[in-house]
């Protein structure tokens, strides 16, 4: 289950950012996940529950936003968002398109609590 590896690196990044900022704990982690990334949100949540104890993120709320993939048509240059498996160009109906975004998983923002 590759969600464990992903969550591990998310938590490491969050932990480092929070410590660098001098925070005492992380209250919220917001992730942006491309629909083509094959990430299962439930599995990610499960990995978070398993890996977050003993980190600053132990009580953080995990918020995940799924984003539609985006492609560019190699024929007419049109850029468009689409459903996972519908990548044909809506402008010229060409099937030759290039995926620009949708496989990513990144940390959008974190909220932290600073010492009194
Ligand atoms: Zn096109």
Q: Where are the domains of the chain?
A: 2-67+102-113
Distance 88 CA to ligand 1 centre (A): 8
For residue 87, the model assigns a pLDDT of 85
| CATH code, 2-67+102-113 | 3.30.2320.50
Distance 37 CA to ligand 1 centre (A): 24
User: 17-21 long-range contacts, Cβ below 8 Å, gap at least 24?
Assistant: 17/110, 18/56, 18/57, 18/110, 18/112, 19/56, 21/112, 21/114
For residue 2, the model assigns a pLDDT of 85
For residue 1, the model assigns a pLDDT of 61
Tell me the mean pLDDT in the region 21-50.
95
Q: How far apart are CA 28 and CA 10, in angstroms?
A: 13
Distance 66 CA to ligand 1 centre (A): 25
Distance 65 CA to ligand 1 centre (A): 28
Tens digit of each residue's pLDDT (9 = 90 or more) over 60-107:
999 999 999 999 999 999 999 998 888 899 999 999 999 999 999 999
Distance 83 CA to ligand 1 centre (A): 16
């Amino acid at each position: 289950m590759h969600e464990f590896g992903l969550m591990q690196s998310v938590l490491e990044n969050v932990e480092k950012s929070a410590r660098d900022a001098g925070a005492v704990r992380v209250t919220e982690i917001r992730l942006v996940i491309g629909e083509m990334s094959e990430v299962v949100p439930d599995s990610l949540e499960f990995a978070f529950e398993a890996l977050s104890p003993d980190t600053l993120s132990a009580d953080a709320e995990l918020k995940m936003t799924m984003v539609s993939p985006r492609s560019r048509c190699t024929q007419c240059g049109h850029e468009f968002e689409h459903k996972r498996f519908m990548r044909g160009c809506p402008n010229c109906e060409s099937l030759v398109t290039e995926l620009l975004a949708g496989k990513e998983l990144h940390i959008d923002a974190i909220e932290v609590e600073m010492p009194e």
